[in-house]
Structure 1
Amino acid sequence: MNPKTVSRILFLFLLLATHLLSAQLLLNKNLSLQVSNQRMDNVLEILSNKGDFYFSYNSKIVNKDSLVSLSAQNKSLKEILSLLFNESYEFRESGNYIIIRKAPIRMTMVTERAVNEDRIYSVSGFVYNRETGSAISEASIYEKKLLAAALSNQNGYFKIRLKSSKAAVAELNVSKEFYMDTMVRIETRHDQQLTVTLMPLENTEENVTVSPLDYLIPDLIQALNLVQQKHYPLPVDTGTVERTGAGRFLLSSQQKIQSLNLRKFFTERPFQVSLTPGLSTHGRLSPQVVNNFSFNVLGGYTAGTHGFELGGLFNIDKKEVKYFQLAGLFNIDGGKFTGFQLAGINNTVLDSVRGFQVGGVNNLVKGKFTGFQLGGVYNHVTDSVKGFQLAGVGNFARKKVSGLQVAGVANFSNKEINGVQIAGVINYTKRLKGVQIGLINIVDSSDGYSIGLINVVLKGYHKLAVSSNEVTGFNLAFKTGNQKFYSILQAGMHTGNLNKAYAFGYGLGSEMPLNKKKNIAFNPELISQYLYLGSWNYLNLLNRAQLQLHVKINKFISVYGGPSYNVFVSDQWAGIAGYRYPVPKSGYGTHSYSNRVSGWWGWNAGINIF
């Protein structure tokens, strides 16, 4: 081998060895420190600069504001840190970092065993915080196969009874929110006592890194997670069945605590039977079990159902439910639902639904809904709907609706309707790509058709029209909707001592542009009006079909005019003094369809404003 190549390899090897050696000797590096009444965080900055390394620690375990006085000459970093901190701390090296953390409590597991020939043996003991040594209350101690569980009390004490098995060893699991799970192997068929310690989870947001910067600049402490360590994120509390109104009322505090502690543990069984939540064939771990068949005499609280669930009064499932779920009063599901769901009062699903949902009073879905939803009073979907919503009073969808909404009073879609809305009183959607039918229809923008007495398109077609025709000399109309389809509210009058007439009515119209500029258009319109000719005792109904040529003068004003055909239905046989009779006036060419119905050709002309 070339001597130069050998030299280079040896040089690189020496560099690597030197780096590795220095990385292992940070705590053994000799430093001198002279401080008096200095804040702890400033002292750590000084050490970081003197040794050219980083400190990393959790802000909850180090009091940065404490004042420190120390004189140390040519001592190792480990010795200096031991003088700054007491024996409850330990110091570890990781690359160019010194990690300060609480030393684990040295607790030996004391196990006292006594042979138990009965079918049931007991395991008792205490649960402690591994870092502080304090007792941990409300920790869950459970055996997964037997579905046995217990909670520790305020002193950390627990006792759990287990069935004897042929296996020589069983696994006892201990879980607590904000702590790492622990598993202990125990000897079966023996009464025994244990001491269990749990390690708290580390909140990485509270980590502090001290950088080797100029220590004369105060408080240069950066809350940055620069050390590549294995962290365990703290659990995030999300919306669950336990947080619903029924969950808060029906579930005990112990059941809610158990649910928080065991959020990572779920298992499956073919069936379960419950009298009430907590009185189940699966015992205290029923909320952690997904069943194929679930029968709840009054009510049950399980992890989920993949098959059939029947509740005399209610069913509460933490996770997904599939296929069939029936309850006398209500169902609450924390996960997705797929299939057929029926409840006498309410169905609440905190995720999406795909299938057929029937609630005697209302249905609430927090995710997407796909299928058929029937509510006696109200349906509420906080995401999109794809399918059919039918309610006695109202339907609500926060996002897009693709399909049909039918309600006795109101429909509300906060995003878009791509289908049909039918309501007895009011429909609302932000964007319409279909049809609305209701007394009042309100949309922000429309590419569809609104059919009702009042149609409001906020970014649509709005015209105030002043016109005249052969029956009423002055007419005022408000036209609103979109260009393809708009509604007309119109009132008119004819003055004169001998020819008074008053009219009011409703109509529909459309604007059909004839050129690219859209300043010339045809407007076909149908209007039905009641004519008041001196008495309300008679029916006088004037129906007009108008074809108007519409010419836009500028952005706000246009003129129009054109022919009309009129059909007049009247049972008034004689005129009343001061009011017009006949309609139209004498000498106007008409033709008769019957003794009550006549027709004629007429005209209409006017001005549009806006």
Structure 2
Amino acid sequence: MTSLLPKLLKIILVPFCFLLFCSTSFAQDLLQKSISIHVVNMPLHDVLAKMEQEGKFYFSYNSDIINGSQKVTIDKQQQSIENILNELLGDQYKYQVMDNHIIIKTAISQGIIVTGRLVEAESGLPIEFASIYEKSVLSGTMSDANGNFKLHIRQPLANYELVISKLSYEDTVLKVTKSFNGKAPITLKKTFYTLDSVDVVGIQNHWLASRLLSTKTKVNSVNLNSFFGKQPFQFSVLPGISSKSRLNSQIVNKFSFNLLGGYSAGVDGFEFGTVFNIVQKDMRYVQLSGLFNIVGRDMEGVQIAGVYNYVKREVKGVQVSGVFNAAHAAVTGVQASGFANWNEGDIRGIQFTGVLNKSNRVKGIQASGFANWNKKDMNGVQFAGVLNKNEQISGTQFAGFANYTSGNTEGAQIAGAVNYTRNKMQGSQIASLFNYARVIAGTQIGVVNIADSSEGLSIGFINIILKGKHSFNINTNEWQSLSASYKSGSDRLYNIFQIGGTLRANHKLLSIGYGFGNESRIGKKSALLNELIIHTVYAGNWNDQNILTRYQLMYQYKLRPKFKLYAGPAFSLLVFENKNTYSGFGRIQETNYPSFNLGNRVNCWLGWTVGVSIF
């Protein structure tokens, strides 16, 4: 067994050492490879690209450490790549070969720790809560109550440029090298100007975000309100504890992962937070959180939260939350929540919620388990379990209980109980109980229909047109001596409520009737009346059913504006239970007018009606 070990090691180590030697030799060979280059006043990144083409290899480098736009002139014939790079870049860089790539790195082996003290130029007093950052590597810190600060920049650079910002002070730029000692105080000059409160406060004024952001984070955002950077990635535990440290509120990230919650200037890709996400400005594409998302400006894409989504301005895309969505400007797309959607702007798309949708105006669909409420117009379709409320509507409203429009309605209102339009209704109102419109220019169908004036049709048990037809009528006919009726509605269709009877000895009869009528004008003072009335007749015993259906066609003549006479033929159909006669009462089925029977309990005859209409 022991004799096999040296052999195995020899078998493994010899090929490994050979490969290592080949790799090292290839690396050295690539840097020592000879090429020719001749350029005049060409940007550095174009020169490097030309060297790649000439030598058939590739460069890899961070654009932050090389000024690619710098113009250079060089003329080298059959020189090594390493010599040419030293000529172009100087001695501040080192090179590493990996496969067919030359990686350019800075020769500085470590970063820098910058310390200092900030004071007012005028008074010499310390300046607290000032923001200090190196903008090329996005490292930052803040001064303490005594004006002291300590900034550790881990990235090695040849030179560092610190920017110091503080509200009400002029921005100060400080060139720093490794020889900087920070013993002399750094002075800042005061300045006075008016700030837009929205730019300064931003999302930090939101009731929930303000409780989650520290004072230093808020002040830092105010100090740096005009500075924003971009980074591909951010990792956060909480706001202020992140890979971007003090500058997280000023960074727009392509990808952001927040272990509990995070705060950034913006997202231009994907953001996930197990608890919450707070974005100071715009959010684009996808934002997911376990509890809530808060965005200070626009949201474009998809926003999903377990409880709450808030966007200060416009939403273009999809908002989904378990409880509540809010947007202060327009929503173009879809909002879906378990409890409520609340918008100060317009909706162009679809709103779904379990309880309440509230918007400025809607062009699309609103669906709610309880209510939809729009301050202005609704163009589309509304579904609500209880209530729809709008200023104007052009479309269709469906509600389990009521639809309310404070202005005009063009379309349809369909409700389980009540439809109410304060101005003009052009379309259809359908409710099981009550419809109201100031002007009806369509159709009302319900138990009770009321309108101030009518250009359409009201169909219901009670139709009242306040500026329409109202008349009290007294008439007589072949089967009862006297009856009185009230007619209400419009000339197109009116209701008739009638009571009458016969009081002659041994021929008494009492009746209650309800019906519909139509008045068609045939002259300046003349009209034809078509009326259908159903009577319940009492002939001595309420247990005996006597139902009389009567159609009458009458000619009406107006003697005075409030006084009219009418008369005409009538056809009656009586359904009776038996032919019993009770003391003092007559039998309605007996008549001297032309009649015929339809079985044993149906009698039909021709008759007449004469009456007068008052007011």
Residue 456 of structure 1: aligned partner: 464
The corresponding residue for 1:525 is 531
- Output the CA distance in 1 between the equivalents of 2:495 and 2:608: 20
Question: Does residue 342 in structure 1 map to residue 352 in structure 2?
Answer: yes
Aligned pairs (5 A) from 1:495-574: 495-515=503-523, 517=524, 519-574=525-580
Shift of 1:288: 1.9
1:430 corresponds to which residue?
Answer: 438
**Are the counterparts in 2 of residues 269 and 290 from structure 1 also a CA contact under 8 Å?**
no
Matches within 5 A, 1:42-121: 120-121=139-140
Aligned residue for 1:579? Answer: 585
Q: Deviations over 1:427-479 (max 9, x none)?
A: 11010001111111110110111111211111111111111112222111111
Match of 1:354 in 2: 363
Q: 1:496 offset after TM fit, Å?
A: 2.3
Paired position in structure 2 for 1:77: none
Aligned Cα RMSD in Å? Answer: 4.5
2:491 partner amino acid: Q
Give the SS at the match of 2:540: coil
User: 2:573·2:602 contact (CA, 8 Å) conserved in 1?
Assistant: yes
Note the alpha carbon deviations across 1:106-136, whole angstroms, 9 max, x for none.
999987857699864135699xxxxxxxxxx
**Equivalent position amino acid for 2:552 in 1:** Q
Between 1 and 2, higher relative CO (CA 8 Å, sep ≥ 6) is seen in 1
Distance 2:401 2:522 in 1: 44
Give the whole-Å Cα distance in 2 for the aligned partners of 1:505 and 1:242. 71
Structure 1 position 414 matched with structure 2 position 419: no
Question: Aligned partners of 2:166 and 2:329: how far apart in 1?
Answer: 22
Residue 536 of structure 1, CA deviation: 2.4
Task: Tell me how far apart the structure 1 counterparts of residues 544 and 496 of structure 2 sit (CA, whole Å).
Answer: 24
- The corresponding residue for 1:607 is 612
8 Å CA contact 1:274, 1:299 repeated in 2: no
1:477 and 2:477 aligned:
no
Q: Is the 8 A contact 1:538 1:572 kept in 2?
A: yes
1:591 paired with 2:610, answer: no
Q: TM-score, normalised by structure 1?
A: 0.59
Question: What does residue 466 of structure 1 align with?
Answer: 474
Structure 2, gaps ≥5 residues long: 1-121, 229-264, 284-291
Q: Structure 2 vs 1, CA of residues 115 and 328 (structure 1 numbering), >3 Å: closer, same or farther?
A: closer
Matches within 5 A, 1:140-151: none
The code of the aligned residue for 1:404 comes to A
In structure 1, the partner of 2:98 is: none
Report the equivalent of 1:145: none
Letter in 2 for 1:595: N
For residues 109-508 of structure 1, what are the structure 2 equivalents within 5 Å?
120-123=139-142, 199=193, 269=268, 286-303=295-312, 304-349=314-359, 351-381=360-390, 383-508=391-516
SS of 1:537's equivalent? coil
Give the corresponding residue for 1:178. Answer: none
SS at match of 1:288: coil
Cα distance in 2 for residues equivalent to 1:163 and 1:360:
56
Distance change >3 Å, CA 480–CA 117, structure 1 → 2: closer
Cα contact 1:164–1:189 (8 A) shared by 2: no
Q: Secondary structure at the match of 1:511?
A: strand
Normalising by structure 2, we get a TM-score of: 0.59
| 1:295 Cα deviation after fit | 0.8
Cα distance in 1 for partners of 2:559, 2:152 equals 91
**Structure 1 residues 196 and 514: CA distance shift in structure 2, 3 A:** farther
- The answer as to whether partners of 2:132 and 2:142 remain within 8 angstroms in 1 is no
Show CA shifts across 1:331-364 (max 9, x none).
Answer: 1112111112110111111x11011111001111
Is contact 2:131-2:142 (8 Å) kept? no
State how far apart, in whole Å, the 2-side matches of 1:471 and 1:300 are: 74
- Residue 275 and residue 412 in structure 1: after superposition, are their counterparts in 2 closer, same or farther (change >3 A)? farther
- Cα pair distance change 1:495/1:119, threshold 3 Å: same
State the structure with more CA Rg.
2
**Alpha carbons 1:125, 1:194 under 8 Å: kept:** no
Instruction: Structure 1: give runs of 5+ residues left out of the alignment.
Output: 1-105, 127-156, 175-180, 202-231, 236-240
Q: In the alignment, is the contact (CA less than 8 A) between 2:318 and 2:333 conserved in 1? A: yes
Secondary structure of residue in 2 paired with 1:561: strand
Instruction: Give the Cα separation in 2 of the matches to 1:493 and 1:193.
Output: 108
- Cα distance in structure 2, aligned partners of 1:366 and 1:332: 12
Question: Matched residues in 1 for 2:364 and 2:354: separation?
Answer: 18
2 CA distance for matches of 1:188 and 1:395? Answer: 69
1:324 alignment partner AA: V
**Structure 1 contact 348–365 (Cα < 8 Å) conserved:** yes
Number of equivalences: 418
Match of 1:357, as an amino acid?
Q
Deviation, 1:198, is 5.7
Alpha-carbon distance in 1 for matches of 2:424, 2:452: 10
Does structure 2 conserve the Cα–Cα contact (< 8 Å) formed by 1:273 and 1:294? Answer: no
Counterpart in the other structure of 2:46: none
User: How big is the shift at 1:534?
Assistant: 2.1
Question: In structure 2, do the counterparts of structure 1 residues 456 and 121 end up closer, same or farther at CA, with 3 Å as the change threshold?
Answer: same
Say if 1:288 and 1:563 are closer, same or farther in 2 by CA, change over 3 A: same
Paired with 2:512 and 2:169, the residues of 1 have a C-alpha distance of 80
CA distances 1:124-152 after superposition (whole Å, capped 9, x unpaired)? 699xxxxxxxxxxxxxxxxxxxxxxxxxx
